[in-house]
Amino acid sequence: MDEARARILIVDDQKVNLDILVNLLEDSYEIAVAKSGEAALRAVEADMPDLILLDVVMPGIDGTEVCRRLQSEPGTRHIPIIFITAKSSVESEAEGLELGAVDYITKPFNPAVVRARVANHIRLKRYQDQLEALNTRDPLTGIANRRRFDRYLEHEGRSAIRSGAPLSLLMMDIDYFKPYNDNYGHPVGDECLKQVARALVGAVDRSIDLVARYGGEEFAAVLPGTSEAGALKVAEAMRKAVRALGIKHQHSQVADCVTISIGVGTGVITRHDQPMQLLEQVDAALYRAKAQGRDRVVG
């Protein structure tokens, strides 16, 4: 959630209830509505809201079940849910909160109280998003950090086991970066890292491909559902993109500009420890790329 208006999904099977809440909140938020539990789950998948106002009693998948399903998925667990319902018993309220809802509002409600509670939860959601960004983004380059890479690799490893699709990994390392730093200075080195990061991210075109700063002047990428031939192509595009930056490097022994070496590996994943083994294999390929002269891709 950025500075743009927060997005709220309102779920209720009765149009009159939806209309009241939409009227109450549409001046301050981007509103989406769903008239059933099924429609709510589809709406969340299509466009992740910042907050959900969820009716409990609905035919089909009811609010309790919607909450349970969203809470059980890592991708949707963080979306705050406020139950808004005519079920006013303390037992229902306790059940809703125990399911993980952040709040429980009973009908008939006071409009000012609903607005205030929604505003509070949206504020908390913004803090949560900021914390998540701090936790998963590299502060220098702005791209994913190692924590995010490790998490994504584990996640994609699990889905590769289910799908049987190949998983490819890349490891990139800037050539002769120590002499670059030593000669041009650390701030210029930092600027170089930013430009290289941007070039690497620009070389992948699918949103499921993740490029991360793995550490120092090393980067890594997860390419789900990608064959070895596809991964070699992406790696070559990255190598060329970094060369095309034309960052002057008079102390490199391989070119007069900044270059990178890349290790590539592809595996069909059948066990949970395989992605980490694949990463070690890719690291070994990177070392071969260095030994064979740098500025190259080795699979």
- Residues labelled catalytic: 217
**Minimum CB–partner distance for residue 60 and ligand GH3 (Å):** 53
What contacts 24+ positions apart, CB below 8 Å, involve 153-159?
153/222, 153/275, 153/276, 153/279, 154/275, 155/74, 156/222, 156/224, 156/275, 157/269, 157/272, 157/274, 157/275, 158/272, 159/224
Rounded Cα gap, residues 237 and 204, in angstroms: 8
Residues 274, 166 contacting (CB under 8 angstroms): no
Residue 221: which of 126, 291, 287, 152 has the closest Cα?
A: 152
**Minimum CB–partner distance for residue 149 and ligand GH3 (Å):** 16
The single residue among 216, 227, 248, 280 that binds ligand GH3, judged by CB under 6 A, is 216
Instruction: Kindly write out the interface string for residues 163-182 of this chain, putting x where it contacts Mg ion by CB under 5 A and - elsewhere.
Output: ----------xx--x-----
Closer to Mg ion by Cβ: residue 33 or 167: 33
Contact region with ligand GH3 (CB under 6 A), list: 17-25, 39-47, 187-195, 265-273: 187-195
Calculate the alpha carbon distances from 160 to 20, 154, 169, 268, 272 in Å: 45, 10, 13, 7, 10
Residue type, 170: L
Residue 290 in contact with ligand GH3, rule: CB under 6 A: yes
Residue 212 in contact with ligand GH3, rule: CB under 6 A: no
**Minimum CB–partner distance for residue 276 and ligand GH3 (Å):** 22
Closer to ligand GH3 by Cβ: residue 53 or 260: 260
Residue 178 in contact with ligand GH3, rule: CB under 6 A: yes
Residue nearest to ligand GH3 (CB): 189
Which residue ranges make up the site for ligand GH3 (CB under 6 A)?
140, 173-178, 181, 186, 189-190, 193, 216-217, 290, 294
